[in-house]
Amino acid sequence: MTAHFDPGFVARQFRLDGKAALITGGRGALAEAIAAALADLGCDVALASRHEKDCEETAAGIAARFGRKAIGLRCDISNEEEVEAAVGATSTMPAPRGGGCRRRFRCRAGARWSTPISPARSWPAAMPRGT
């Protein structure tokens, strides 16, 4: 059996069209690089940090450059209510054309911790305040 390899066959395997990502720690060069990479693959992005204005500015640049939906949010990840609100805002980003389920994922830009992420009792230990 001969496989059919046409131009772009690898890139199509990594497309994220119809998906949305919440990037916490969403200000600065690392968050912008992550958002740009995801948007370039077709993903809508929400950048969130304690510095909402910075996130909004980065999101506006991503939207202008890549033509994807991008929003900036305020979110202190040590505050569960703010995290829930950020997840909710990401969940309400427009669904893909034709409706259907939108899959979402979250990415923490610039975090490091050694505590496993588990139920709420370990939330503060697993999510240190950074940006």
Per-residue model confidence (pLDDT) at position 27: 86
Q: Cα(23)–Cα(32) distance, rounded to whole angstroms?
A: 9
At 100 the pLDDT is 45
Domain boundaries, the chain: 15-126
Token duo for residue 23: 């990037």
**pLDDT one-digit tens code per residue, 70-114:** 999 999 988 889 988 998 898 888 665 544 445 555 556 555 544
Supply the CATH classification number for the domain 15-126.
Answer: 3.40.50.720
pLDDT tens digits, 2-44: 677 888 888 888 888 888 899 988 888 999 999 999 999 999 9
Quote the pTM value.
Answer: 0.73
Give the integer Cα–Cα distance in Å for 84 and 87: 5
**In this model, does residue 128 exceed pLDDT 50?**
yes
